[in-house]
Structure 1
Amino acid sequence: MNTQSNQRGLLKLRFFFIISLVIVLIFVVAYFFYSLVPLTEGAPSVKFQIIKGESLKEIATHLMEKSLIKSAFIFEFYALLSGRAQKFQPGIYDLSAAMSIPQIVNTLVNGGKDEVILTIVEGATLKDIDEFLSDHQVIEKNSLINFPLDRLSNTYPFLVNVEIKSLEGFLMPDTYHFKMYSSAADVLEKILNNFYNKAWPLLANKTDWYRLLILASYLEREVPKFEDRQIVAGIILKRFSHQMPLQIDATVSYAKCNGRLKTCPSPLVDKKDLEISSVYNTYKNLGWTPTPIANPSVNAIRAALTPKASPYWYYLSSKTGETIFSKNLDGHNLNKAKYL
């Protein structure tokens, strides 16, 4: 009797276990298929980037962060189950929360755009541009900074001079179409060709063209308006001819930030910075800096080529960005008290 009761108990237990297991499986399967379907209907597309070397888990996490999928786990599971987890291609994709996980997986396997449109802004430095392009997966970090100039001297007449040791000043500000994961040589070819076509015709017949390029970089960093740039160019050249320190704040900022202005915690120059020991400190050293301090626009280069004579010896930028000129040091000090 007890044996029969025990058997009935075991059968009931097995029955409840099987029923529970079936229910759990139903919920798991339901959740699996629920997670596969689009997150929402009619959602707009967003840009999604896979960086070379990213893991499946990282991709799934980023999809969740962009609110493109319901479950990172289900995405990973489906990608593994379908045998495509290792086939995702680096690139930029247009994805939407209206896409199902299978659709997203198919898209990531087929490959995205491998071209990015980026703008090198006027006044950016070599180190800024290197970091900017590497952040967008165009080049490896420091590959522009460390590029050997002797590989370019036979191609570009402005790099023939052995005294030129840096690409600073030659990286033409403009909007470019770059292939992702390009070589530094390919990227430089595009940028330097642009400099050759747009800036070099203005400089080529000037014996002191490199000094003018350096001057243009000062103007780019110091003064926004073309007419004011012409006046400031005249002031700087007048100081130089009178063997006065050029006293360009932007050169001190370049020294202070080690040529990396974009990520510099404090690029503004204060009084103690004027004592920085650097060949780029034009308060302590006479003459020009060894290289440009930025990559100037054609506008700044034209201003350097057309300096305007004026009675002014000093200038400053007000808090509103206006350039204020002074005829003497006393007037300059009064303007500093008034505008800064």
Structure 2
Amino acid sequence: MASEETKTKKDYMREKMIEQQQEAKVVRKIVLIISIVLFLVVAGTLTGGYFYIKGALQPVDPSSKKEKTVEIPIGSSVTGISQILEENGIIKDAKVFKYYVKFKNESGFMAGEYALTPAMTFPEIIESLKTGKLMEEVVFKITLPEGKQLKEIATIIAEKANLNSEEVLQQLNDKAFIEKMMQKYPNLLTEEILAENIKHPLEGYLFPATYPYYKEDPTLEEIVSVMLDKTEEVIEEYSGAMVEKEYTPHKLLTMASLIEEEATEKIERDQIASVFYNRIDVGMPLQTDPTVLYAKGEHKERVLYEDLEIDDPYNTYINTGLTPGPIANAGVSSIEAALNPADTDYLYFLAAPSGEVYFSKTLEEHNQLKAEHIN
């Protein structure tokens, strides 16, 4: 009896082992199938992307001899030129052409009328775009300094273009005008600029630079488009860093504007940025005076305690986090500081009348510096 029981147990164990081995084979087969499917999906996606880009790099129609007259306006950015070429059927994909130009570090494109064909290669198109036939003289220039608000920019534009400053500001805030610009620059001007508490949708979006104009009486749309082209071009340079920080153009320009308005010639902007980020991390309000002045809509040499109580979404003394939108335009140095703040423990900074800026980690240190440097 004992031997029969032992035999039965052995048979049972053998059957169990066989069953487990079969199950293991099934699991391995399932895993193998899933792995193959995933591999094929990824490979298919990569292959599809490769062939798409490879195709986009080729001429639209190698056998075509039909010339098309393509006009490249003065002041066009690489993005604008790429779009024009795609719209005219000279290239297949504007983005592929734009990144090809940047990868090859090509520049020096000139405005003009060009006779181009769908049979041209990228190098041939690029070479043609460097010849230029419109060598018009500059009629006037508009210079936008860093840290300027939209009201000030409207005045600058009006003076240079012989327009009425109030009418310029009114159009810059006009809903139909804004929506038209949003359609033209969908990656730059998003729905964020139309948020409920935004005072001026284009605030901070007109990049500080000098802009040449070649017509006596350009429209405001033509004037502003050149500025937005520049802003878009600058922002695109930081697209990778923006993805890492999960920043939209609106958020980046907002932070950069706060840094810009607090910056002096004697301070590293990345240190100011570190204070702002440190305060946000611990839930402290930013408490930056320029936001109070922006909320009040006026310029003052000194912010008073009574000013700090203004009930406004832009007042960073009573609201935590960033302002609803930019409070001025910001230059490259402030944009880079917003993306690459210094690594500090500072929570306070004090701008002395001399222009020097003093940083501190505690309120006690800050108050001591205030007593020493502020009369």
Q: Match for 1:332: what amino acid?
A: H
Q: Who is 2:247 aligned against?
A: 208
Q: Is the Cα contact below 8 Å between 2:258 and 2:326 reproduced in 1?
A: yes
Describe how 1:62-101 pairs up with structure 2 within 5 A.
Answer: none
Going from structure 1 to structure 2, the CA distance change for 1:197 and 1:114 (only over 3 Å counts) comes to closer
1:121 pairs with 2:155: no
| Distance in structure 2 (CA, Å) of the matches to 1:213 and 1:149 | 18
Q: Who is 1:155 aligned against?
A: 184
SS of structure 1 residue aligned to 2:222: helix
| Distance in structure 1 (CA, Å) of the matches to 2:335 and 2:138 | 34
- 2:222 alignment partner, one of 160, 169, 186: 186
- 2:350 alignment partner, one of 298, 310, 316: 316
SS of structure 2 residue aligned to 1:268: coil
1:180 to partner: Cα distance: 4.7
CA RMSD of aligned residues (A): 2.2
SS of structure 2 residue aligned to 1:218: helix
Going from structure 1 to structure 2, the CA distance change for 1:315 and 1:133 (only over 3 Å counts) comes to same
Q: Is the Cα contact below 8 Å between 1:126 and 1:145 reproduced in 2?
A: no
Q: Is the Cα contact below 8 Å between 2:259 and 2:273 reproduced in 1?
A: yes
Q: Match for 2:235: what amino acid?
A: A
Q: Match for 2:178: what amino acid?
A: L
- 2:315 alignment partner, one of 269, 281, 302: 281
SS of structure 2 residue aligned to 1:238: helix
| Distance in structure 2 (CA, Å) of the matches to 1:138 and 1:186 | 14
Output one character per residue of 1:41-85: Cα deviation in whole Å (capped at 9) or x when no partner. xxxxxxxxxxxxxxxxxxxxxxxxxxxxxxxxxxxxxxxxxxxxx
- 2:233 alignment partner, one of 197, 214, 219: 197
Output one character per residue of 1:224-249: Cα deviation in whole Å (capped at 9) or x when no partner. 35962111111111111211111111
SS of structure 2 residue aligned to 1:283: coil
- Tell which deviates more after alignment, 192-201 or 121-130: 192-201
Query: Which structure: greater helix fraction?
Result: 2
Describe how 1:214-225 pairs up with structure 2 within 5 A.
Answer: 214-225=254-265
| Distance in structure 1 (CA, Å) of the matches to 2:305 and 2:362 | 20
Q: Is the Cα contact below 8 Å between 2:188 and 2:232 reproduced in 1?
A: no
Q: Please, which runs of 5 or more residues in structure 1 have no aligned partner?
A: 1-112
SS of structure 2 residue aligned to 1:176: strand
Q: Who is 1:255 aligned against?
A: 295
| Distance in structure 2 (CA, Å) of the matches to 1:335 and 1:180 | 54
1:146 pairs with 2:182: no
SS of structure 1 residue aligned to 2:353: coil
Q: Is the Cα contact below 8 Å between 1:246 and 1:283 reproduced in 2?
A: yes
Q: TM-score, normalised by structure 2?
A: 0.55
Going from structure 1 to structure 2, the CA distance change for 1:160 and 1:137 (only over 3 Å counts) comes to closer
SS of structure 2 residue aligned to 1:198: helix
| Distance in structure 1 (CA, Å) of the matches to 2:266 and 2:184 | 32
- 2:202 alignment partner, one of 163, 167, 172: 167
Q: Who is 1:338 aligned against?
A: 372
1:163 to partner: Cα distance: 2.2
Q: Who is 2:339 aligned against?
A: 305
Q: Match for 1:272: what amino acid?
A: E
1:241 pairs with 2:269: no
Q: TM-score, normalised by structure 1?
A: 0.61
1:319 to partner: Cα distance: 0.8
Going from structure 1 to structure 2, the CA distance change for 1:138 and 1:298 (only over 3 Å counts) comes to farther
Q: Is the Cα contact below 8 Å between 1:212 and 1:304 reproduced in 2?
A: yes
Q: Who is 1:46 aligned against?
A: none
| Distance in structure 1 (CA, Å) of the matches to 2:239 and 2:279 | 22
Q: Which ranges of 4 or more aligned residues in structure 1 deviate by more than 4 Å? A: none
| Distance in structure 1 (CA, Å) of the matches to 2:150 and 2:239 | 20
| Distance in structure 2 (CA, Å) of the matches to 1:163 and 1:212 | 12
Q: Match for 1:312: what amino acid?
A: Y
- Tell which deviates more after alignment, 126-135 or 159-168: 159-168
| Distance in structure 2 (CA, Å) of the matches to 1:226 and 1:212 | 23
How much identity, in percent, do the aligned residues show?
A: 34
| Distance in structure 1 (CA, Å) of the matches to 2:307 and 2:227 | 33
1:114 to partner: Cα distance: 8.3
Going from structure 1 to structure 2, the CA distance change for 1:174 and 1:276 (only over 3 Å counts) comes to same
